[in-house]
Amino acid sequence: MYKIVKRDQIADNIFEYWINAPHVTKNGCAGQFVVIRIDEHGERIPLTISGIRGDDVRIVFMAVGKTTQQLAALQEGESIQDIAGPLGTPSEVKKWGRCAVIGGGVGIACLPILARELREAGNEVTGIIGARNEGLLLLEDELRNACDELVICTDDGSKGHHGFPADILKEKVAAKELDAVWIIGPAIMMKITSMATLNTGIKTFVSLNPIMVDGTGMCGSCRVTIGGETKFACVDGPEFDAHQVDWDELMNRQRTYTGQEKESLEHYHEHKCRCGDH
């Protein structure tokens, strides 16, 4: 069992957990992920490593489906059954020069650890984060500390730039201010944002989040097409060259279980009511 040593709600429906898992933190790096299973009946879900502090690993998630809602219902001091990791290939941290780390929604949570590693490697780092509204922005102060510069965007203009991170990225690209870019967020956001660096020669990484089971290359559930070749996101990724990704296929595969996910959530709420739980 792995203990939740700290639990915070950090934005509307978004939660930050620190979980005690020395085997994950010992060698974990930016760009890697963990697979968790809440209990005996739980599914295995991948979550990106958002931070490491001593023996504790941070995960940040939005409570949308059954598993994330159940996770959100756990309290500080409670435990989850399993956490495996670190999994996946670390981010390609080296001296690039000027880097931008761009986050959308919950993807923002993956940026501070990456920004810090990039700066330690001697890069100048600009953070660009976007959310639908101010209430969905997260880890802003932490990220400001981790970056040389931070730009905030909201779709509704409630804070910072009224628009998308892609707008800011386009400006930076036009001003020839970048050597490498990371974009982490929902698939559609990564697809659209990465167009800003197409044919510019700027290395652009995205962190893909397909459906996974084991996370160790054993099942092939997370296969994605990169430059016409099938890759397993869990071991070959999860970070890939944005301009080589078959985005439509990724998004189709992400929707494979939409019906079952709804059923699972309904079953969970029905069951909670019957138990008089929470």
Partner 1 sequence: MNRRPVEERLRDFNEVATGLSKESAVLEAKRCMGCPKPLCVDGCPVSIDIPGFINAIAEEDFRKASRIVKADNMLPAICGRVCPQEAQCQGTCILGKKGKPVRIGDLERFVADWERENGVEAPETAPTTGKHVAIVGSGPAGITAASECLRAGHEVTIFESLHEAGGVLTYGIPAFRMPKGIVKFEIDQVLALGAELKLNHIVGRSVAVDELLAYDAVFIGTGAGLPYFMGIEGENYGGVYSANEFLTRVNLMHADKFPEYDTPIIRGSRVAVVGGGNVAMDSARVARRLGAKVYLIYRRREDDLPARAEEIENAVQEGVEFVCCANPTKILGGPEVQGIECNRMDMCELDESGRPIPRPCTGVDSTFTLDVDVVIEAIGQGPNPLLAGLIPDLKRGRRGNIEVDEDGRTSIPHVFAGGDIATGAATVIWAMGSAKKAAASINKMLSEN
Q: Write the single-letter amino acid at 262.
A: K
| Region from 35-43, 106-114, 130-138, 179-187 binding partner 1, contact rule CB under 8 A | 35-43
218 touches partner 1 (CB under 8 A): yes
In angstroms, the CA 169 to CA 164 distance is 9
Quick one: which of 77, 163, 217, 227 contacts partner 1 (CB under 8 A)? Answer: 217
257 touches partner 1 (CB under 8 A): yes
99 assigned binding-site residue: no
CB of 190 to partner 1, least distance (A): 18
CB of 45 to partner 1, least distance (A): 9
> Of 172 and 231, which CB lies nearer to partner 1 in the complex structure?
231
In angstroms, the CA 163 to CA 169 distance is 12
53 touches partner 1 (CB under 8 A): no
Which one, of 201, 183, 163, lies nearest residue 247 by Cα? 183
Count residues contacting partner 1 (CB under 8 A)?
Answer: 43
Query: Rounded to 5 degrees, what are φ and ψ at 45?
Result: -125, 140
CB of 57 to partner 1, least distance (A): 11
> Of 158 and 264, which CB lies nearer to partner 1 in the complex structure?
264
> Of 54 and 220, which CB lies nearer to partner 1 in the complex structure?
220
Contact at 8 Å (CB) between 90 and 30? Answer: yes
Quick one: which of 133, 144, 261, 272 contacts partner 1 (CB under 8 A)? Answer: 261
> Of 39 and 78, which CB lies nearer to partner 1 in the complex structure?
39
Q: At what angle do helices 187-194 and 247-254 cross, to 10 degrees?
A: 170
CB of 7 to partner 1, least distance (A): 21
Q: Where are the beta strands (DSSP E) in the chain?
A: 2-11, 14-20, 33-37, 45-48, 51-53, 56-62, 79-80, 82-87, 98-104, 124-131, 149-154, 161-162, 180-184, 203-207, 223-226, 229-232, 239-241
Cβ-Cβ contacts under 8 Å for 181 (sequence gap 6 or more)? 99, 100, 101, 102, 169, 194, 197, 202, 203, 204, 205
Q: Interface with partner 1 by CB under 8 A: which residues?
A: 23-24, 26-27, 32, 37, 41-44, 66-67, 81-87, 213-214, 216-221, 223, 225, 230, 235, 249, 252-253, 255-257, 260-261, 263-264, 267-268
**Residues of the binding site for [2Fe-2S] cluster:** 219, 222, 234
